[in-house]
C-alpha cells in the first residue's frame, strides 16, 4: 500500500478510563501502526469496559464522514466478566470477518498458547475495518504484528480499491 491510511485506536479499560493506571497498549499500537505501516493516527480514545461506550465510539469512528480506514481496539477480549469488547463491536459490525483474528491467533501460538484465550474478532462497518485486540501491550502488539502483511490489502479492499478482474 503506497498511500497512507487513517487509523484510530481505542483502549478499553475501566482502570485506564479512571486514570488509575497508564494506558500502555494504546500508545504501543499507535507506534506500531505508524512505524511499520503507512498509517496516520486520526484519533485515539480511552473508554471503560462498557458495551455502550465501546459500540458508540466504534460507530462514530466508522461513520463515512470520519474517513477512518482502520479502527483497532485494545482490551476487553478476555474471559473476565467485564470483558465486553467483542460483543459490543459485533453489535455494530455490518460484516464480520473472524478469519483475521483467527490468523493472528494461529501466528501467535508459537510465542504463547495463551493467545487462544483472546476472544477478539474483526469485521467492517461502512468502509472501516475493525479489529479487537487483547489489552496487554505484548498481546495487542503481537496480534497486530501477526497481521501486518495482510492489513494493507485488507484495507485497500474495504476501501473499494481492489477490483477482481
The predicted-structure confidence for 26-79, as pLDDT tens digits, reads as follows: 999 999 999 999 999 999 999 999 999 999 999 999 999 999 999 999 999 999
In a domain, 79, yes or no: yes
CATH of the domain at 130: 3.40.980.10
The pLDDT assigned to 163 comes to 72
User: What grid cell was written down for 137?
Assistant: 501491550
In a domain, 42, yes or no: yes
In a domain, 24, yes or no: no
The pLDDT assigned to 132 comes to 98
In a domain, 164, yes or no: no
Domain span at residue 40 reads 5-13+34-159
Task: Quote the number of domains for the chain.
Answer: 1
In a domain, 110, yes or no: yes
In a domain, 21, yes or no: no
In a domain, 149, yes or no: yes
Closest C-alpha to 121, from 109, 129, 112: 129
Q: Write the pLDDT tens digit of every residue in 125-150.
A: 999 999 999 999 999 999 999 999 99
Helix, strand, coil % in the chain, rounded to nearest 5:
45, 20, 35
Exposure string (b/e) for 79-112, b if CB count within 10 Å is 16 or more?
Answer: eeeebbbbebbeebbeeebeebbebbbebbeeee
DSSP 110: T
Tell whether the model's pLDDT for residue 155 goes beyond 60: yes
In a domain, 18, yes or no: no
Mean pLDDT of 151-159: 95
133: which strand partners?
A: 74
Amino acid at each position: 500500500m503506497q498511500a497512507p491510511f487513517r487509523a484510530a485506536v481505542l483502549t478499553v479499560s475501566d482502570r485506564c478510563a479512571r486514570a488509575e493506571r497508564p494506558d500502555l497498549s494504546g500508545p504501543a499500537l499507535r507506534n506500531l501502526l505508524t512505524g511499520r505501516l503507512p498509517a496516520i493516527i486520526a484519533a485515539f480514545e480511552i473508554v471503560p469496559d462498557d458495551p455502550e461506550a465501546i459500540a458508540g465510539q466504534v460507530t462514530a469512528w466508522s461513520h463515512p464522514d470520519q474517513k477512518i480506514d482502520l479502527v483497532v481496539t485494545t482490551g476487553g477480549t478476555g474471559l473476565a466478566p467485564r470483558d465486553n469488547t467483542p460483543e459490543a463491536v459485533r453489535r455494530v459490525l455490518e460484516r464480520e470477518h473472524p478469519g483475521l483474528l483467527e490468523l493472528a491467533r494461529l501466528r501467535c501460538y508459537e510465542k504463547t498458547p495463551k493467545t487462544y484465550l483472546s476472544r477478539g474478532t474483526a469485521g467492517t462497518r461502512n468502509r472501516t475495518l475493525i479489529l479487537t485486540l487483547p489489552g496487554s501491550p505484548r498481546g495487542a502488539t503481537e496480534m497486530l504484528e501477526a497481521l501486518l502483511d495482510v492489513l494493507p490489502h485488507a484495507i485497500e479492499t474495504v476501501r473499494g480499491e481492489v477490483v477482481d478482474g
